[in-house]
Chain A
Amino acid sequence: MTGVRIAGVGLTHFGKHPERTGRDLFAEASASAFADAEVPRDDIEELYYGNFMGELAEHQGHQGPLMAEAAGIRAPATRYESACASSGVAIRQAVKDVRNGEADAILVGGAERMNNLGTAKTTEALAIAADDLYEVRAGITFPGAYALMARAYFEQYGGSREDLAHIAVKNHANAVPNEHAQFQKEIELEQALDAPMIAEPLGLFDACPITDGAAAVVLVSDEYAEEHGLDAPVSVTGTGQGGDRMALQGREYLARSPAAEEAAEEAYADAGIDANDVDVAEVHDCFTIAEVLALEALDFYAPGEGIGAAKRGETTRDGDRPINLSGGLKAKGHPVGATGASQLAEMTRILRGDHPNSDAVPDAKVGVAHNAGGTVASATVHVLEVHK
């Protein structure tokens, strides 16, 4: 089985770009990935593309071939949809296909256009990641669902809104030097705590923003990288995916995310590592509580212990294991279908040393990307390692 190398990565600015089409966003990200990779477009054998709400936002289905065309490649193209984990599952498929010899070079990525809908319609569109009959019709919104998990967590393990606010403060601070981030500005703890409520106990600063953006990654086999003398120092060494019941009400746990626990376990075993080997991670903090659930699912903390990590300074840029040096979904932004691929792109830059926050982890060799769909009914985890 061949190894999988990250030949190049590309990102658009994440932010409010309501006038830009999905195809334009993905074209920019892919052009930037190709420039970074020095892989000719003709060598790409597949496009795996993540997108969640293109039908609702742009009245556009069948986005695989549309995005291949936008990227200037002639190759079979498939869209993957798994809510906020759409490009995470696309990456997993690409990793498998490079490994099994199906393809030597794959373009994988994702895009989402959201701001053209406005807040109310975006709220409605995001809610389709939940169970329509049993959750949406009972008034559950995307923030509402995470609020239910946050309250359940507080009840079971303790913790407070202040603990969560420290996560928002941390991720905003990390985003300051990141030119791709939606919010390149710090926030104060009080500002987060005093913000208007969205779905109690979660306020405005507990939530990721509504974001337009795209991300693209060129994956190649070890053989391809060597044959073409590519400078591709980061490998994907582990992939894992897990699943859970769709609706929160059907789950065994309301304050844990077993789908991500399964994904992490599988990815660690695949890479031959354990949680202690991980130097740095990008995790799916669509809401502050989601970062807590991620830290525990990744086995960085036992259930109930992750809530205070940011407050204690363990996950800040000066901490033992910095989390979301990109700014995370919270401050970098969350263009849903692009998020999994953007985490891979950010982690690649962090490990290569060309990320504005690479200096926080100069010796980092192992990074993890954790991408979750909906309320973590689906999740992927990927392990990235500096190639030996």
Chain B
Amino acid sequence: MSENEHANTGYDEWLDAIEDGNAYYLECSNGHGSLPPRRICPECGEIGLEETPLPETGTIDTYTVVHVAAPSFADDAPYTTAIADFGPVRVTAMAPDDVAVGDTVSLTIGESKTNGDRLLLFERR
């Protein structure tokens, strides 16, 4: 494992939920979406955010193929990272190498080839 040994409450549970097929986002009563760990809606400042199921699929907005990686991704490079729009929130994750803008993807959990860390992964649907 990497140096990311300490827990990140909120984020870790969110990864667990995605792994269990229960991906969610946080929603305020005004309908703004955000991702954990978060106590306050960044859009309107409301407190008391509800875990709401993440739409099953999102659409790729943009992507890049990273050739020059940080040491923590040395064995993964070259790899593709993308941002996908799920409606209430966008998510950034690793993606299949032949991904294109507009592709429909779902969010899952993969593993870094470099250090075995969990990471967010888009799968084409």
Which of B65, B72, B83 makes the CB contact (< 8 A) with A199? B65
Could you mark each residue 72-98 of chain B with 1 if its beta carbon is under 8 Å from any beta carbon of chain A, else 0?
A: 111010010111000001111110000
CB-based contact B71/A144 at 8 Å = no
With A137-B117, A139-B76, A248-B83 as contacts: A199 and B64 at CB distance below 8 Å: yes
Secondary structure at the A interface, as helix, strand, loop or mixed, is: helix
* Chain A stretch 142-165: residues in CB contact (< 8 A) with chain B: 143-144, 147-149, 151-152, 155
Q: What is the interface size of chain B, counting residues whose CB is below 8 A from a CB of the partner?
A: 35
Measured between beta carbons, the chain B residues less than 8 angstroms from A148 are: 62-64, 81-83
Closest approach, in angstroms, between the C-beta of B32 and any C-beta of chain A? 11
The docked-state distance in angstroms from the alpha carbon of A196 to that of B77 is 14
Quick check: is B8 within 8 A (CB to CB) of the other chain? yes
Tell me the number of A-to-B contacts counted with CB atoms below 8 Å.
99
CB-based contact A127/B67 at 8 Å = no
With A138-B119, A139-B79, A245-B42 as contacts: A155 and B62 at CB distance below 8 Å: yes
Measured between beta carbons, the chain A residues less than 8 angstroms from B74 are: 120
CB-based contact B62/A123 at 8 Å = no
CB-based contact B70/A151 at 8 Å = no
The docked-state distance in angstroms from the alpha carbon of A171 to that of B94 is 33
Measured between beta carbons, the chain B residues less than 8 angstroms from A200 are: 64-65, 67
The 8 closest A-B pairs by CB, nearest first: A147-B64, A124-B70, A249-B90, A152-B62, A200-B65, A139-B81, A151-B62, A138-B92
Where the two chains meet, the residues of B that have a C-beta atom closer than 8 Å to any C-beta of A are 4, 8, 11, 34-35, 42, 61-74, 76, 79, 81-83, 89-94, 101, 117, 119-120
Where the two chains meet, the residues of A that have a C-beta atom closer than 8 Å to any C-beta of B are 119-121, 123-124, 127, 133-141, 143-144, 147-149, 151-152, 155, 196-202, 245, 247-250, 254
